[in-house]
Amino acid sequence: MSKLSLDRILQTQGFGTRKYCRGLVEDGEVRINGEVIENYKSTIETEGLKFTVFDEEWDYHAHLYLVLHKPANFECSRKPSHHPGVLTLLPEQFTWRDVQPVGRLDHDTTGMLLMSDDGPFIHAQSSPKRHIPKVYVATTAEPVTDELVAQLLSGVQLHDEPEPLAAKICRRLDDNQLEIILEQGKYHQVKRMLAAAGNHCAALSRTAIGQLSLTSLGLKEGEWCYLTTEQIALLVPDSL
């Protein structure tokens, strides 16, 4: 059990500075169980807490674990340079909480993107040492041949890599589409592997991480959701 003052709760949830949050409470903008709370010093149990700010309901989360179905032409950067950042697709207060992408997808790559404000979680999910499988669907410029699939499975040599990199699983889905599962997490890996194998990636989408698939979440492009404890467990390598 954990109790915090109401202004502190609002601050931890990203609604602004402590002073601003106190003003929200004193102005009658915060409700708990339908009741307006005007004393920012009120101590509230955080477990299972639901509260309303500006007539919008929120759940208390000590840490945020999110999945975004990333559209094309969004950058996975807190300081985007050429396209909007993925943080613009989330509620504004998540930026105050220092939510950031777990790893990166290229601006033109779509699909499953984890986001969190939990540093150890971000590090664990981003570390190549964890060998967390990530599933991609690639549309190719040239037809997918048996030879291409065989090359990707046996390994291709990339510039600046000491050894060839191989897909864990690779299978043809259509004439110009294949599914590829990687564990290494190298920079632009799918695109570079296809180029090294003599083809070209025309479009790319990440469809799953670990045993958690984008399809199971039912998210359309641009939509996001909180991850449950059970869903987070599907991201852990030991559960694979």
Q: Which residues are catalytic?
A: 106
Q: Greatest CA separation found in the chain? A: 69
State how far the Cα of 6 lies from the Cα of 22, in Å rounded to an integer: 8
User: CA dist 141 to 50, 80, 137, 207, 223, Å?
Assistant: 49, 28, 13, 20, 28
81: left (phi over 0), alpha (psi -120 to 50) or beta: alpha
With tokens 């915090």, the residue in question is 4
Residue 234 near residue 215 (C-beta atoms within 8 A): no
Dist. CA 140–CA 133, nearest whole Å: 21
Which DSSP category does 95 fall into?
H
Distances (CA, A) of 164 to 151, 159, 167, 196: 11, 10, 10, 10
Q: Which residues pair with 135 in a beta bridge?
A: 181, 208
Phi and psi (nearest 5°) for 174?
Answer: -160, 180
